[in-house]
Amino acid sequence: MVFRVLAEATMTVHFAFLVYVVAGGFLAWRWPWAIWPHLVLAGWGFSTIVFGFDCPLTHLENWARHEAGEQGLRTGFIDTYLTGVVYPERYTTLLQMLAGLVVLVSWAGFLVRRRRPAPARVTAPN
């Protein structure tokens, strides 16, 4: 039971990771320090697609599922839970490019917002 919960929790974290990789740069518009973890995690997400690096979350989920007596993922996380389930396989490249575009837009918006002078604070007269 514990390993099944761990596997499900890992799957949930993995989904959150994907959302953050794609859209997390927009958080930096509000909280500028958030750009640094986003750069690192977006770089990692990019490297798993381009260079085929294995994701440690996939390994953790596989291990937990095997320990729970279940079958692990036959392919990667995205291939298992998204491709062919949420969108047809033929759109994979298009969706990867769109995700990359969203990341670049968030970074460009971050840079524009950082270069803009801060608005003057209005103080109430005493």
Query: Which is nearest to 41 in space by CA: 110, 9, 53, 72?
Result: 53
- Residue 28's CB is within 10 A of a number of other CB atoms, namely 22
Write out the chain's pLDDT in tens, 126 residues: 899 999 999 999 999 999 999 999 999 999 999 999 999 999 998 888 888 888 888 889 999 989 999 888 888 888 788 877 888 989 988 998 999 999 999 999 999 998 877 666 777 676
- Residue 85's CB is within 10 A of a number of other CB atoms, namely 10
Instruction: Please report, for the chain, the start and end positions of each structural domain, with discontinuous segments joined by +.
Output: 2-115
Q: Give the separation between CA 34 and CA 40, rounded to whole angstroms.
A: 10
Which pTM was predicted?
0.80
CB 67 within 8 A of CB 3: yes
